[in-house]
Amino acid sequence: MGKKIFSGVQPTGNLHLGNYLGAIKNFVELNNDDKNECIFCVVDLHAITVYQNPELLRNNIYETVATFLASGINHKKSIIFNQSRVGAHSETAWILSCVARMGWLNRMTQFKEKAGKDKEKASIGLYSYPVLMAADILLYDATHVPVGDDQKQHLELCRDIAQRFNNDYKVENFFKVPEPLIQKQFSRIMSLKDGLKKMSKSEPSDLSRINLTDNKDDILNKIKKAKTDSLPMPSTIEELEDRAEAKNLLGIYSSLSGLTLEKSISEFSGKNFSEFKNDLAEILVDKIIPISVEIKKLLEDKKYLEQILSEGHKKANDIASNKLKKIHELVGF
Ligand code: AQP
């Protein structure tokens, strides 16, 4: 039987290699399987949990759609839409926030990381973000949610919320309890400047990430400057312990080449980093430049992108409104 897939990406600009290898590449594979029903959402309501310049946000919504298409998502075989146009997401998030417990949200590590030291100044939206994410997924009866490793905890929370709602309202299986789809290897791509920090859109240094809109020179330059250590390339997986940067770069190489980590290690064993970096840059250019070129081409035709969003909106809205109607009945509205 096929899977019902739901996943989202925030239109916060600078979509990067981590988003691609951790999530979007997986979306494409799932979308290629005709048995699956796929819904891919541009989660703009999530984006504003941290202030976004409105003009940039509008453009980033189109850029995210363009990235989906340029990466290989087929809009004829999936629903692509942006979250803010389907009002049921916000309304369901409210209802679910009356089901979720403070204690559950207090455990979310992403909030702690993103809010930083001064939690009092973080928006309430940033705190309750995982409840909105649960609404996104549960409205569509998704069975599987492909995400990067950093979203695993939010998905567990979504499962808890679904079960609690089903129990409180005595409706077995009303909300499907979704399974995360997290790649076994290389599910967290780290910064090129610090192998202990995840590659991220909001990191101020552009040298920390490969953007999906980078050109060849950008990629060559970023790989040349990527942090490494002074040891030669490792010969075994064990040697990668405590060598976060080497591990990350080899992980990126393996993920793009489709090789296991063991195979990549043996290919470069004992060589120096500069040789490895040349091959890494080459494979990045091979895989990322066609996507980058296509994103730029698609962005020249906003009408086309708008049409895709508008078709997606109609389909998503039908499914979500229908589910919300049932939620209303269950809670007694
Ligand atoms: N470094 C990463 N490695 C693997 N997967 C990643 N994802 C994000 N960063 C990495 C996955 O990409 C999908 C879309 O992410 P998002 O845009 O919705 O949110 P995010 O995780 O907050 O992305 P960023 O880049 O880290 O943004 P900022 O800087 O704002 O925090 C998700 O499935 C995510 O797991």
Confirm if 57 and 84 have CB atoms less than 8 A apart: no
Q: How far is the centre of ligand 1, averaged over its atoms, from the C-alpha of 8 (Å)?
A: 10
- The model's confidence at residue 87, banded by pLDDT at 50, 70 and 90, is very high
Ligand 1 binding pocket includes 181 (Cβ within 6 Å): no
pLDDT in tens, 254-290: 999 999 999 999 999 988 899 999 999 999 999 999 9
Q: What angle do CA 176, 178, 181 make, to 5 degrees?
A: 160
Using DSSP, state whether 188 is helix, strand or coil.
Answer: coil
Q: Which atom of ligand 1 is nearest to the CA of 209?
A: 1
pLDDT at 223 over 90: yes
- The model's confidence at residue 183, banded by pLDDT at 50, 70 and 90, is confident
pLDDT in tens, 36-49: 999 999 999 999 99
Q: Is 201 designated active site? A: yes
Candidate list 152, 176, 193, 201, residue with the active-site label: 201
Q: What is the DSSP string of 38-78?
A: EEEEE-HHHHTTS---HHHHHHHHHHHHHHHHHHT--TTSE
Q: Is 315 designated active site? A: no
- With left for phi above 0 and alpha for psi between -120 and 50, is residue 243 left, alpha or beta? beta
Cα(13)–Cα(10) distance, integer angstroms: 8
Q: Which residues contact 209 (CB under 8 A, 6 or more apart)?
A: 14, 16, 17, 18, 191, 192, 199, 200, 201, 203, 222
Confirm if 62 and 299 have CB atoms less than 8 A apart: yes
Q: How far is the centre of ligand 1, averaged over its atoms, from the C-alpha of 150 (Å)?
A: 7
Q: Which of 162, 214, 165, 194 is nearest to 15 (CA)?
A: 214
Q: Which of 52, 70, 330 is nearest to 211 (CA)?
A: 70
pLDDT in tens, 57-71: 999 999 999 999 999
Q: What confidence score (pLDDT) does residue 70 get?
A: 98
Residue of 57, 151, 190 best suited for mutating to test ligand 1, as the one with most atoms within 8 Å of CB: 151
Q: What confidence score (pLDDT) does residue 117 get?
A: 82
Q: Is 198 designated active site? A: yes
Candidate list 114, 152, 176, 296, residue with the active-site label: 114
Q: How far is the centre of ligand 1, averaged over its atoms, from the C-alpha of 229 (Å)?
A: 26
Half-sphere exposure of 144 (CA within 13 A, CB side): 17
Nearest CA to ligand 1 atom 34: 148
Ligand 1 binding pocket includes 151 (Cβ within 6 Å): yes
Ligand 1 binding pocket includes 12 (Cβ within 6 Å): yes
Strand arrangement of the beta sheet that strand 37-42 belongs to: 78-82, 37-42, 4-9, 144-146, 179-181
Q: Which residues contact 90 (CB under 8 A, 6 or more apart)?
A: 45, 132, 135
Q: Which atom of ligand 1 is nearest to the CA of 198?
A: 1
Cα(189)–Cα(209) distance, integer angstroms: 9
Ligand 1 binding pocket includes 49 (Cβ within 6 Å): no
Confirm if 38 and 27 have CB atoms less than 8 A apart: yes
Q: What confidence score (pLDDT) does residue 270 get?
A: 85
Q: CA distances (Å), 233 to each of 185, 251, 262, 284, in order?
A: 20, 13, 13, 19
Q: What confidence score (pLDDT) does residue 199 get?
A: 96
Q: How far is the centre of ligand 1, averaged over its atoms, from the C-alpha of 148 (Å)?
A: 7
pLDDT in tens, 103-158: 999 999 999 998 988 889 999 999 999 999 999 999 999 999 999 888 999 999 99
Ligand 1 binding pocket includes 23 (Cβ within 6 Å): yes
For the chain, list the domains and their CATH numbers. 4-187+303-331 (3.40.50.620), 206-297 (1.10.240.10)
Q: How far is the centre of ligand 1, averaged over its atoms, from the C-alpha of 18 (Å)?
A: 7
pLDDT at 171 over 90: yes
Q: What is the 8-class DSSP label of residue 234?
A: P
